[in-house]
Amino acid sequence: MLIKPANKSIKSLLSKVREIIKDNASATQEMLIRQLNPVIRGWAMYHRHIVAKAVFTSIDHHIWRLLWNWAMRRHPNKGARWVKDRYFPTDGSRQWNFATMSAARGKIFGLRLFSASTVAITRHIKIRASANPFDPEWHDYFARRRTSKRSAGLPGASPWC
């Protein structure tokens, strides 16, 4: 059984992103990135435990399309190459980053749109059915489990899990 994000959840995210972009038609690129990043990051982190890599890629493409239309609408008299160079700079081997640029060096200044496809899929490891955290016999099992969660940097790695 493969669990994927619900279509309703995907549509909800995309409509929220669409609304943010529409409301910020005349805002700066930096303000738009600051509003979009928490929404995209939060949704992707919520869905990182299920089979969602293809969905993440699809969402990134839809968001890229919305941002491309936003950028082209802002500069109707400029060509596509100028718009690409202005709003989507290249950073090393990564191309088409929606990011702000430094005027001095021509490098990415600091704000970059969060990409959902960069979120690593982490599988949930079930607790054994017979394990009891109050039974001293299972103490080693829960100690190993806490250690592995801490090393992976997962949330819930407190000593109380």
pTM equals 0.78
Helix, strand, coil share of the chain (percent; to 5): 55, 5, 40
Q: What is the pLDDT of residue 158?
A: 43
Query: How many residues are listed for the chain in this entry?
Result: 161
Q: What is the pLDDT of residue 156?
A: 45
For residue 101, give the nearest of 92, 93, 91 by alpha carbon. Answer: 91
Other residues' Cβ atoms within 10 Å of the Cβ of residue 65: 10
**Tens place of pLDDT for every residue, the chain, 161 residues?**
788 999 999 999 999 999 999 999 999 999 999 999 999 999 999 999 888 999 999 999 999 999 999 999 999 999 999 999 999 988 778 888 899 876 555 555 678 999 999 998 887 778 888 888 888 899 898 888 888 766 665 454 444 33
AA identity, residue 110: G
Cα of 77 vs its chain's centroid, Å: 32
Q: What is the pLDDT of residue 144?
A: 87
